[in-house]
Amino acid sequence: MTSADDFPVPGSEDPDIAAGSHDPIPYVDGNAAAGALSEVFRIDIIAALGRCRHCGSIRAFGEAMVFTDAPGIVVRCRDCQGVLLRLVQTPTRYWLDLSGLSYLEIDREE
């Protein structure tokens, strides 16, 4: 699988951070990832708070930038554009990379 990690951006300290604003790639908000992620998580991921490993920003997952024009779903931080989450689905498996999140804070259902 090819990913942004394989091609570090010159001049960027973190290869997970996007190349810059000069090459905008279309994205949608975190709600667009809800369907696929609801198959993996039995929780309300959209309302969960996540902390970005790259910049420390804490936001509701629904505020994240979701890129679907990829082999899977790529979710990036709205503040620094660092990769928070990647999800690839095959007919038999999910591949989930959460390494861009320090944590997820999830409300327990009463």
Token digits for 22?
């000069």
Ramachandran quadrant class, 91 (left: phi over 0; alpha: psi -120 to 50; beta: rest): alpha
- At 31, is the secondary structure helix, strand, or coil? helix
Distance from C-alpha of 61 to C-alpha of 110, rounded to nearest angstrom: 21
Question: At a CB cut-off of 8 Å and minimum separation 6, what does 79 contact?
Answer: 52, 55, 57, 59
Q: Rounded to the nearest whole angstrom, what is the least distance from the CB of residue 99 to Zn ion in the complex?
A: 13
Q: Rounded to the nearest whole angstrom, what is the least distance from the CB of residue 85 to Zn ion in the complex?
A: 12
Q: Which is nearer to Zn ion, 75 or 87 (CB)?
A: 75
Q: Rounded to the nearest whole angstrom, what is the least distance from the CB of residue 19 to Zn ion in the complex?
A: 15
* Interface positions with Zn ion (CB under 5 A): 52, 54-55, 57, 77, 79-80, 82
Q: Which is nearer to Zn ion, 29 or 89 (CB)?
A: 29
Q: Which is nearer to Zn ion, 45 or 76 (CB)?
A: 76
